[in-house]
Amino acid sequence: MEHIITKSAELEKIEKEIITLKNQTAENMIQIGCKLIEAKKQLSHGEWGVWLENKVEFSQRTANQFMRIAKEFGSNSQAISNLEITKVGLLLDVPIEKREEFIEKHDLKSMSTREIKKVIKESVDGMCNKSVIDFDTDYNLYEISINELKPLPDYERYFGNRTGKDYIFYLNCVDKYGITESVMIARDKTIIDGHERVRAWKDLGHKTITCRYASMEEKHRKGYSDDKLKLYLFLLANMHSRSSDWYIAEFWLDELFGTNYGDKSGDITHYLTDERIEALNHNQAILQKMQEVIVQEKEGIIDNNESSDLIKQLREQYVDVP
C-alpha cells in the first residue's frame, strides 16, 4: 500500500522545483540541496524516505550528498560550476581548508572521475604525516592553556549544550569533584571530546586543563580528511551507554558516515524512542539515589552495611535500555 503524505502547497512547489533543477545543469546542485533541506523540515515522522523515493526519485544517500554540497559549497557556488554531481561529491573528501587550493590547481572539468579520485588519494596520502590526529597513541597527559583550545566547528548542532539549571548543577559538580576525565584534543588544539568540561573549567576561573591527544590507526581512517576524522572521533566519543547521547551519536554516524546502527530513516526519533527515553530517565534517577546513599555513608548518617543493602536494592531496580 502506498504511503499517503499530507502535504502543503509549499511542499508541492518544492517538488516541482527539485525536478526542474534535476533536468538543468550541475550548477543547480546547491539549490537542490537547499530545497531538500527545506522539504525535510516540513515532513512528518517517517515520511522523509518515502517522499524522496516517490516524489523526486532520490535515494537518501543521494539526498544527503546534495544537502552536504549545499552546506559546504553554498557560499562558493562558482567553484563547482559545470561539474558533474559525481565530481562534486568527490571534492567532499578533500579537507575544507585545502579544497579551494585543490580546485584551483586542477582542471577538474577535463579530468575523469577516476583521475580525480587518484589525485585526491595521492593528496590525502601526502598529508598523512601531517595529520593533526596521531596515528599512534600518546599515553601522556598534558596541561594545556584553555585559551589555546578551540571548539569543533558547529559541535552544538549534534548534542546541544547544557543550559539553565542543568548547567548550574553540572558546574557545581565540576567545582566539587573536579575534572575526572581528561579532555581529548587534536594536535591543532581542536577539542574532540570535552567541550562542556572546558566550558565549566573556564567559567570556574581555571587557566589550564588536563588533555590527551586523539589517535587512530591508519587502517581505520578510511581516507578521511582531518576535518572529517575529527567529527567521526567526536561522535564516537559521545556514545555514552547510560545517556541519550548514545542514540543521538548513532543517528549522526548513520547520517554522515554511512554506518548501520539504525534504519537510516533520517529521523532521530527512530533512534531515540519514547521507550528508550523513559528507561534512560528511570536509570538516571536510580543513579542519583545511589549517589545520595554514598553521600549519606560518607557523612556518617548510615553505616556501611546499610549502604550496601540500599545500593543492592537500587541496583535491582536498574533496567536494560531497549
Cell of 142: 598534558
Residue 231's pLDDT band (cuts 50, 70, 90): very high
pLDDT digits (tens, 9 = 90+) for 83-141: 777 888 888 888 776 788 888 888 888 888 888 888 887 776 655 557 899 988 998 99
Whole-angstrom distance, CA of residue 70 vs CA of residue 172: 41
Alpha carbon distances (Å) from 13 to 20, 31, 56, 261, 266: 11, 14, 12, 34, 22
- Is the pLDDT reported for residue 27 higher than 70? no
The answer to whether 82 and 109 have CB atoms below 8 angstroms apart is: yes
Of the chain, the end-to-end C-alpha distance in Å amounts to: 29
pLDDT the model gives residue 79: 72
Render 207-250 in DSSP notation, one character per residue: SEEEEEE-B--GGGSTT--HHHHHHHHHHHHT--TTSTHHHHHH
Q: Residue 319 phi/psi, 5° resolution?
A: -115, 155
Whole-angstrom distance, CA of residue 34 vs CA of residue 21: 12
164: left (phi over 0), alpha (psi -120 to 50) or beta: left
Which segments of 92-207 are extended strands (E)? 142-145, 183-185, 191-193
Q: Residue 185 phi/psi, 5° resolution?
A: -135, 160
Range of lowest pLDDT (8-12, 173-177, 299-303): 8-12
Q: Which of 10-14, 183-187, 274-278, 279-283 has the highest mean pLDDT?
A: 183-187
Whole-angstrom distance, CA of residue 149 vs CA of residue 195: 10
Query: Looking at domain 142-238, which CATH architecture does it have?
Result: Alpha-Beta Complex (3.90)
pLDDT digits (tens, 9 = 90+) for 39-98: 888 887 678 888 888 888 888 888 888 888 888 887 666 777 777 778 888 888 887 767
More confident residue, 3 or 27: 27
Q: Is the dihedral of CA 239, 241, 287, 160 positive or negative?
A: positive
Domain ranges of the chain: 9-126, 142-238, 275-317
Whole-angstrom distance, CA of residue 150 vs CA of residue 240: 23
pLDDT digits (tens, 9 = 90+) for 198-228: 999 999 999 999 999 999 988 888 888 899 9
